[in-house]
């Protein structure tokens, strides 16, 4: 089986209320939006994974397949709120490696 | 990639600072507001431009026609919501109108004939994505459907499209990269979405700055040099 190519996305999550300290909550919000917008097969094929999330800086890194990168970004930017906080997801950079994001 | 958000609604003047702060954070270089008194455009110290936007609406076409002559010289962006065919076609043809704003909740359809008239006069179709952020499931699907149909109608007729937030809260603002991805969602190609976000708003701004200049007489007619008394 051919290995799918991965992409990493760095992002900043702006929030007006209390900081989102539960990274699972953020991951779920992106998954839910991806599932709702593009369906179960696209969500499954995306291999979406929240690699890291810094609650203090509100910055993190997502991993997904190259073919689903646009869908994942679209799903994430359409998140309007998480819990009681209004949020704005800002995609920063994409790269094939985590190291590439830091350059 | 930088952009200007031409569809921001700052209802409370006290919250303007939080909009400016958020816009700067996400890399926008301009945003519109209805509440500035010092001219159609204000350049702030941090490099951000505040543009005065006026949304003209009224009971009928005559009411809109009366308002537009007054607001044009005082506003950088003049927008008219897409309502009846009569108003939409008049606005599409009138070069004083910058944007025809699509309201997905309304019953009014965006017609091919309107798009063709707008393509000729340079009026752009404005898609505000705020309703997509505040809806889920079937409601969101209906809104996306309306946006995709309108974008297809506009692009087929050669009419320009512009994406704006329609934000009433700073957290509803999105960066240029985020807006480009929303463009993909509503049926644009990657290259076209990039143009819509990072070129079209600047073209509108440039055109209006030229029009608001005292040397501008009419389309294609400008004062290059004023004659002296001697």
Q: Which residues of B touch A79 (CB under 8 A)?
A: 133
How many angstroms separate the CA of residue B12 from the nearest CA in chain A? 17
Tell me if chain A has a CB within 8 Å of the CB of B217: no
Q: Is B36 within 8 Å of A98 (Cβ atoms)? A: no
- The predicted structure's pLDDT at residue B108: 80
Which uninterrupted H or E stretch holds A39?
helix A23-45
Q: Is 1.10.10.10 the CATH classification of the domain at A6-93? A: no
A14/B171 touch (CB, cutoff 8 Å), yes or no: yes
- The predicted structure's pLDDT at residue B128: 94
Q: Which residues of A touch B134 (CB under 8 A)?
A: 80
- The predicted structure's pLDDT at residue B63: 87
Q: Is A71 within 8 Å of A44 (Cβ atoms)? A: no
User: Which among A78, A83, A87 is the top mutation candidate for probing chain B, defined by the most B β-carbons within 10 Å of its own β-carbon?
Assistant: A78
Return the CATH number of the domain spanning residue range B3-213: 3.20.20.140
Q: What is the ipTM of this complex?
A: 0.92
The CB density around residue B117, as the number of other CB atoms within 10 Å, is 20
Q: Which residues of chain A have pLDDT under 70?
A: 1, 19
Taking the model in full, what pTM does it have?
0.91
Q: Which of residues 13-32 of A touch B (CB under 8 A)?
A: 14-16
| Annotated domain spans of chain A | 6-93
- Answer whether residue B160 shows pLDDT above 90: yes
Would you give the distance in Å from CA B96 to the centre of its chain?
13
């Amino acid at each position: 089986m051919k290995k799918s190519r991965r992409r990493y996305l760095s992002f900043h999550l702006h929030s007006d209320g209390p900081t989102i300290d539960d990274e699972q909550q953020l991951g779920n919000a992106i998954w839910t939006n991806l599932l709702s917008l593009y369906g179960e097969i696209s969500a499954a094929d995306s291999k979406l994974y929240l690699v890291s999330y810094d609650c203090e800086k509100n910055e993190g890194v997502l991993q997904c397949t190259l073919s689903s990168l646009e869908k994942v970004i679209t799903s994430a930017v359409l998140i309007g709120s998480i819990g009681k906080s209004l949020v704005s997801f800002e995609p920063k950079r994409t790269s094939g490696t985590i190291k590439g994001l830091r350059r | 990639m930088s952009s200007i958000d031409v569809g921001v609604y700052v209802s409370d003047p006290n919250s303007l600072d939080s909009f400016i702060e958020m816009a700067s954070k996400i890399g926008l270089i301009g945003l519109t507001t209805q509440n500035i008194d010092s001219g159609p455009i204000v350049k702030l110290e941090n490099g951000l431009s505040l543009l005065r936007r006026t949304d003209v609406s009224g009971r009928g076409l005559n009411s809109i026609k009366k308002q537009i002559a007054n607001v044009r010289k005082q506003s950088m962006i003049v927008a008219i919501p897409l309502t009846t065919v009569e108003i939409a076609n008049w606005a599409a043809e009138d070069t004083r109108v910058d944007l025809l704003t699509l309201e997905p909740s309304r019953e009014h359809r965006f017609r091919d004939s309107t798009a063709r008239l707008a393509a000729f006069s340079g009026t752009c179709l404005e898609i505000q994505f705020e309703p997509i952020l505040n809806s889920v499931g079937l409601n969101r699907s209906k809104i996306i459907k309306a946006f995709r149909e309108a974008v297809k109608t506009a692009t087929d007729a050669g009419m320009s499209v512009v994406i704006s937030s329609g934000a009433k809260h700073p957290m509803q603002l999105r960066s240029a990269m985020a807006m480009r991805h929303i463009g993909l969602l509503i049926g644009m190609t990657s290259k076209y979405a990039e143009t819509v976000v990072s070129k079209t708003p600047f073209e509108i701004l440039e055109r209006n700055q030229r029009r608001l200049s005292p040397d501008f007489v009419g389309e294609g007619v400008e004062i290059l040099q004023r004659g002296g008394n001697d």
